[in-house]
Amino acid sequence: MSEAQVLTKLEQASGLDPASERVRQAVDSVIRPQRLRDALHGVWLGHPLHPAMVQAPVGAWMATAVLDALPDRRFPGRMSGMERAATALTGFGVATAVPSAVAGWTDFSTLSREQQRVGLVHAVSNLIAVGLYTGSFVARLAGRRRAGKALAYAGMGIASLGAYLGGHMAYGLGAGVNHSIADLRHLPDGWQPLVRFSELPDGEPTVRRMGEVPVLVYRQGAEVTVLMERCGHQSGPLGEGQVVRDGGDPCVVCPWHGSVFRLRDGAVMHGPAATDQPVLASRISEDGLVEARLP
Ligand code: FES
């Protein structure tokens, strides 16, 4: 069976769904406060937090593997400098893997079915890797250098599988990428008429099309904002979302997973989306038409 066929089978493995659902419910019941969820999704960073955080354990464990492979002098009854460094890096990797995993689980709860199936195996692989590295850390502290190295190399193998599946989730299945960017590439060139300004309801977004691409037109008094209509998180239809006030500003709530975007500038107020919703340049022509184009 080819690698692509294995991945397809995993994406279609509906037998994983009950476990995914239990994990989702557990995550939703434990990580409840909106501010904490936003922080873990990466709203404050303008980028998903999980892939940025995993650099810490992966970097530490890669450095451990290099140190373990280098020739070293043995000192009876005490660690060499390289052993101390490898032990510290192993422990640092374990310590930083924990918050990385918490951020990943928070993202997991809003993934699609296919993404969750791959995500579950990705997460279990990484949990096993963390267990192996924890064992390696304990063995090193106990002076069992050989066992520490063996456990670390086993952990590296399993973590590599987890990283491969994480890469497939992002690049193959679009988890964590900004889905509204693709729409920008399909906008027609130049100023495009959308709607007569006088026909726009005040304070209520409406959906119009620029070529094949839906956009959200929002009027507040004399001001008009035009945003991409498909949510950056997973392409949810913002045109079907409720308008609420957040921080005193009118915002639209994505009907799929509840991301909140400020209507006047597309700023993301609450996740799971971590990036702002793109806003187009807009103007009102002399004959009263709202027009928009790429900024
Ligand atoms: S599609 Fe998930 S929050 Fe919009």
User: Which of 142, 172, 202 corresponds to the end of one domain?
Assistant: 172
Are residues 90 and 229 located together in one domain of the fold?
no
Tell me which of 172, 189, 224 is where a domain ends: 172
Q: Which of 234, 224, 285, 277 is nearest to 255 (CA)?
A: 234
> Which pLDDT does position 76 carry in this prediction?
72
Residue 293 CA to ligand 1 center (angstroms) comes to 24
CATH of the domain at 240: 2.102.10.10
CA 277 to centroid of ligand 1, rounded, Å = 11
Task: Please tell me whether residues 144 and 197 are part of one structural domain.
Answer: no
- Count: domains in the chain: 2
Domain identity same for 124 and 249:
no
- The answer to whether residues 254 and 195 belong to one domain is yes
pLDDT band at 29 (very low <50, low <70, confident <90, very high): very high
Q: State which residues form the domain around 106.
A: 3-172
Cα-to-centroid distance, 12 and ligand 1 (Å): 22
Q: How many angstroms does the Cα of residue 232 sit away from the middle of ligand 1?
A: 7
Tell me, letter by letter, the H, E, C secondary structure of the chain.
Answer: CCHHHHHHHHHCCHHHHHHHHHHHHHHHHHCCCHHHHHHHHCCCCCCCHHHHHCHHHHHHHHHHHHHHHCCCCCECCECCHHHHHHHHHHHHHHHHHHHHHHHHHHHHCCCCHHHHHHHHHHHHHHHHHHHHHHHHHHHHHCCCHHHHHHHHHHHHHHHHHHHHHHHHHHHHCCCCCCCHHHHHHCCCCCCEEEEEHHHCCECCCEEEEECCEEEEEEEECCEEEEEECECCCCCCEHHHCEEEEECCEEEEECCCCCCEEECCCCCEEECCCCCCCCEEEEEECCCCEEEEECC
What average pLDDT does the chain have? 93
Whether residue 111 sits in one domain with residue 130 = yes
31 with 133, same domain: the answer is yes
Å from CA of 21 to ligand 1 middle: 18
Q: What is the pLDDT of residues 138-183, one digit of tens each?
A: 999 999 999 999 999 999 999 999 999 999 999 999 998 999 998 9
Mean pLDDT of the region 188-202: 93
The per-residue pLDDT for 248 is: 87
Q: Which of 113, 238, 256, 269 to mutate to test the pocket of ligand 1 (most atoms within 8 A of CB)?
A: 256
Instruction: Kindly give the number of the ligand 1 atom that is closest to the alpha carbon of 234.
Output: 1
Q: What is the mean pLDDT of residues 91-117?
A: 94
CA 171 – ligand 1 centroid, Å: 18
Same domain, 116 and 186: no
Confidence of residue 197 (pLDDT cuts 50, 70, 90): very high
Are 206 and 107 contained in the same domain?
Answer: no
Mean pLDDT of 123-140: 97
pLDDT at position 77 is 73
Checking if the pLDDT of 290 tops 90, the result is: yes
According to the model, what pLDDT value does residue 160 have? 95
Closest ligand 1 atom to Cα of 179? 1
Q: Pick the residue whose CA is nearest to atom 2 on ligand 1.
A: 257
Q: Are residues 267 and 125 in the same domain?
A: no
**Residues 206 and 83 placed together within one structural domain of the fold:** no
Sorting pLDDT into bands at 50, 70 and 90, what band is 72?
confident
Instruction: Of 281, 276, 254, 286, give the one whose Cα is nearest residue 187.
Output: 281
13/96 Cα distance (integer angstroms): 31
In the predicted model, is pLDDT for residue 73 greater than 80? Answer: no
Residues with CB under 6 A from ligand 1: 110, 231, 233-234, 236, 254, 256-259, 272-273
Q: What is the pLDDT of residue 219?
A: 93
Give tens-digit pLDDT for 251-275: 999 999 999 999 999 999 998 999 9
Domain boundary among 172, 205, 220: 172
Q: Is the same domain home to 99 and 230?
A: no
Residue 220's φ and ψ, nearest 5 degrees, are -130, 105
Same domain, 137 and 190: no
